[in-house]
Amino acid sequence: MSEVLQNLNDNLKQQVTLYEELNHLEREKQRALIKNNLLEIELITARQEPLLQGASRLEKERLLWAEHIGRDFGKAPEDLTLAELAEHFPLLEEVRLDLDRVVGQLQEIHELNAQLLQQGMKVVEFTVGMLTHQEKNVYARPSKKDNEGNQNLHLLDRRI
C-alpha cells in the first residue's frame, strides 16, 4: 500500500504544481481582459490548453491510484475524498491543504474573469445595439418625408 500511497501523493503534488501554473495564467488573462488585449488573451488560452490536458491525464491517473486504495476501504474511487484519505494517511495532509488552497484561488480568479467577460459582452451587445438600431437603410439619403416625425436619437447620423 505504501507504494500506491506514495504514487497518489506524487500525483497530487503534480496536480498542485499544474494548478499553480494555471492560476498564474488566469491572473495574466485577467490583466489582458482588463486591457482588452484580445491577442494576449488568445495566447494565454493557447498556453492553458496543454495544462488542462495534463490535468485531465493526472486526474485519470489519480483515479487509478484511488481505486487501489478504495479496494482496501471497500469504496469506489469517486466516493473517496482526499480529506478522508488524509485522516487515515497523514502523508497526504500537506498535499491536501496545498490542493485546497490552489484550487480555491483558481476558482476565485476564474469567477472574476468570467464576470469580466460577461461585462465585456454586455458592452459589446449595447454598442452593437446602438449602432444597428436603425429602422431604414443607413446608406440611402433620407428624404424630407423620412425626417418628418422621426426624431429618434441614433448614435450615428444616418446621412453619413
Residues 10 and 95: beta-carbon distance below 8 Å: no
For the chain, the first-to-last Cα distance in angstroms comes to: 77
What whole-number distance in Å separates Cα of residue 4 and Cα of residue 64? 10
110-119 average pLDDT score: 90
- Rounded mean pLDDT of the chain? 84
Residue-wise pLDDT tens digits, 55-100? 999 999 999 998 988 888 888 888 888 999 999 999 999 999 999 9
Q: Which three cell numbers stand for residue 7?
A: 504514487
**pTM recorded for the entire structure:** 0.74
Q: What pLDDT is stored for residue 19 in this prediction?
A: 97
Q: What pLDDT is stored for residue 119 in this prediction?
A: 86
Please give the single-letter amino acid code of residue 98.
D
Residue 39 has pLDDT above 60, yes or no: yes
Residues 85 and 3: beta-carbon distance below 8 Å: no
33-42 average pLDDT score: 91
5-9, 81-85, 113-117, 150-154: the lowest-pLDDT one = 150-154
88-97, 131-140, 143-152: the lowest-pLDDT one = 143-152
Q: What pLDDT is stored for residue 20 in this prediction?
A: 97
Q: Give domain limits for the chain.
A: 2-112
User: Which region holds residue 87: left if phi is over 0, alpha if psi is between -120 and 50, else beta?
Assistant: alpha
In sequence order, which residues have a C-beta less than 8 Å from that of residue 69 and are 6 or more positions away?
1, 4, 5, 8, 77, 80, 85
